[in-house]
Structure 1
Amino acid sequence: MPLDNHPSGKINLDPDNAEHGLAQLVLTVVELLRQIVERHAIRRVEGGTLTDEQIENLGEALMNLEEKMEELKEVFGLDAEDLNIDLGPLGSLL
């Protein structure tokens, strides 16, 4: 059953569809954190502070998280655009 998506970049707070809005908000926060962790990991790899094993483990963990995010977006009928919420004068989140 398709869910109402809000391509306007706003979180859906419709009481009749609260689960979808909550999922959108939670996945947006998780995606933001994933991107921050990924950027930090890249800096550490480029800085040479990780062993080859740590680099391998980090890469695998990031790929698994990205895969899980894709699964969850599919379950809740969301796409990447739905997670890029509009923060008004601050611009888009992601």
Structure 2
Amino acid sequence: MSPVERPSRRIVADPDTVERDLTRLVLTVVELVRQLVERQCVRRMEQGDLTDDQIETLGVTLMRLEEAMGDLCDRFGLTPQDLNLDLGPLGTLLPTND
């Protein structure tokens, strides 16, 4: 394959979208962590490791975080689907609700 035919491995950053793209990446990481924490909380709740007060506190906290994520996505014109990175043969980063 000649140098002309090889795909470029350089990042092409568009100055007009760099803020949105960076926000998308950061929100993707935050959403991944939020989903992992939510699953951990559910697991601990099902095992009986949490008191009723802890369950209430975690529930309210997770709801507020989900609302904040929605607000940030709206602010930057992103949808939840925009945060789900395609990892090629591995599938998507975040689970889908299909």
Q: 1:65 and 1:24 mapped to 2: Cα distance?
A: 16
Runs (4 or more) in structure 1 with deviation over 2 Å come to 12-16
- SS of the residue aligned with 2:57? helix
**Scaled by the length of structure 2, what TM-score is found?**
0.81
Corresponding residue number in structure 2 for 1:16: 16
Partner of 1:50: 50
SS at match of 1:16: coil
Structure 1 residue runs without a partner (length 5+):
1-11
% identical aligned pairs: 61
Q: Hey, which of these two has a bigger chunk of helix by percent?
A: 1
Q: Which runs of 5+ in 2 are unaligned?
A: 1-11
* TM-score normalised to structure 1 length: 0.84
Query: 2:49 & 2:22 partners in 1: Cα distance?
Result: 38
Instruction: Kindly indicate whether residue 81 of structure 2 is the aligned counterpart of residue 81 of structure 1.
Output: yes
Q: Which structure's CA Rg is the greater one?
A: 2
Give, in whole Å, the separation in 2 of the partners of 1:57 and 1:84: 28
Alpha-carbon separation, structure 2, partners of 1:14 and 1:29: 21
What letter corresponds to residue 71 of structure 1 in structure 2?
A: D
* Matched AA of 1:76: F
The alpha-carbon deviation at position 51 of structure 1 amounts to 0.5
1:20-61 deviation line (CA, Å, top 9, x unaligned): 000000000000000000000000000001011000000000
Q: Which has the higher contact order (CA 8 A, sep 6+)?
A: 1
